[in-house]
Amino acid sequence: MCHAMLNKEPKVRVGIMTAPMIEARFLGGDNAMFELPGVTIGKKFHWERQQTQRFGGELEIMRHPDGTLTAINIIGTEEYLKSVIGSEMSAQSPIELLKAHAVISRSWLMAQIRRDLRHNGTPVSDAENRRKEEGVIIDWQDREDHRGFDVCADDHCQRYQGIAKTASQEPAVEAIMATRGEVLTYNNKICDTRFSKCCGGITEDFAVCWEPRRHPYLTSVADPYCAEATPEILERTLNGYDREDSATFRWTTDYKAGELEELLKQRSGTDFGEITELNALRRGMSGRIYLLEIIGTLNRQIIGKELTIRRWLSRTHLKSSAFEATRRKDGGWHLEGRGWGHGVGLCQIGAAVMACKGFTYQQILSHYYPGAIIEKLY
């Protein structure tokens, strides 16, 4: 039995945007709501853009010591999830996938809130996630502990794009209602249920991407399903901006002569000179590199973990760190990769294929989170 069951559905505080000035428009009608222009989604990803978003629930404006403001939406967990499910993927995705995602999005949220309570609301220092010494930078970007709210509204936590993502999306709403209050647990604790777009054929161990801690339910498992995704399944499952670059299971990236050198200089602040070698020193079970050696004519650097590698080698984010790098004769570089995202936990595209094959959401969750069980939290 999951410890500390709740008598009622909790509310969640979602940080929507931070800016020097925030314009909020309050809309009348039977269902009170408000509108925020200029909300940035996909920060530092290739789909980054601004939207005007509408929200239900309460609005709180928090002022920071530097004078900036943060808009916080206070809303019930289940209403929050209706938007998350429609923001993370198409709300017309297979219903069993939507149910599975409802459970893991709810689980992840509750695990983070309980984690914050254990820290008494004090943010954990980023220094705990960083190791820097001569020639070596090891850094992993986890969800930071937000001050004043539980989670943010972007990919950094979970996508939450307001009520526009809940209107006329009956399958997503049905999935939330069918799984109300359900979470995944392991040894009587709510699971930290990570997920990514496409694992590339094998999911990854938690410790490859974040701190060296073992979660038995977040270990590498073979996933033959994401390779079977048809264009029709991708069209049905991915949101519009996720379909702007349809290469998910396998992808390539090319750099012209001098392009990678200039990119690395911009991203790292180090002039490597001409890059002569990119050596994968350590890989996880999925093939994701979490220790990469960069050798140039002027400097040499070892970097990790996977997200740092993806950021250094792209103007936004490389699809994944599961790649092979080849230096071309013209001095450029060619990368052949697989998967999209960190690959830990549920593979959204693989789970979509499983749902289309007739697997239930319970079977999908059992596949991606071995040993975890579904329990009612409220």
Task: Give all strands of the β-sheet with 33-41 in edge-to-edge order.
Answer: 25-27, 33-41, 49-55
48 or 137, which is more confident:
137
pLDDT bucket at 243, cuts 50 / 70 / 90: confident
Tokens (6 digits) for 190? 């709510």
Average pLDDT over residues 359-368: 98
Please work out, in degrees rounded to the nearest 5, the angle formed at the alpha carbon of residue 125 by the alpha carbons of 123 and 131: 155
* DSSP per residue, 296-347: ESS-EEEEESHHHHHHHTSSS--S-S-EEEEE-TTS-EEEEEE-BS--BSEE
pLDDT at 31 over 90: no
pLDDT at 119 over 50: no
pLDDT at 96 over 90: yes
Task: Report the chain's mean pLDDT, rounded to a whole number.
Answer: 89
- Asked whether the beta carbons of 56 and 80 are under 8 A apart, the reply is no
- Asked whether the beta carbons of 166 and 86 are under 8 A apart, the reply is yes
Query: pLDDT at position 145, please?
Result: 57
Could you tell me the pTM of the whole model? 0.87
Strand partners, 76: 11
Average pLDDT over residues 76-83: 93
Look at residue 58 and give its three-state secondary structure. strand
pLDDT at 122 over 60: no
Look at residue 123 and give its three-state secondary structure. coil
Burial 3-31 (b: 16+ CB within 10 A, else e): eeeeeeebebbbbbbeeeebeeeeeeeee
pLDDT, one tens digit per residue, over 286-343 is: 999 999 999 999 999 999 999 999 999 998 889 999 999 999 999 999 999 999 999 9
- In the chain, domain spans: 11-125+140-191+350-376, 250-338
Q: What are phi and psi of 41, to 5 degrees?
A: -120, 155
Least reliable range by pLDDT among 115-119, 231-235, 287-291, 373-377? 115-119
Q: How many CB atoms lie within 10 A of CB 113?
A: 16
Crossing angle of helices 170-178/77-88, nearest 10°? 130
Look at residue 215 and give its three-state secondary structure. coil
Residue type, 63: R
Strand partners, 40: 50
Q: What percent of the chain has pLDDT over 90?
A: 70
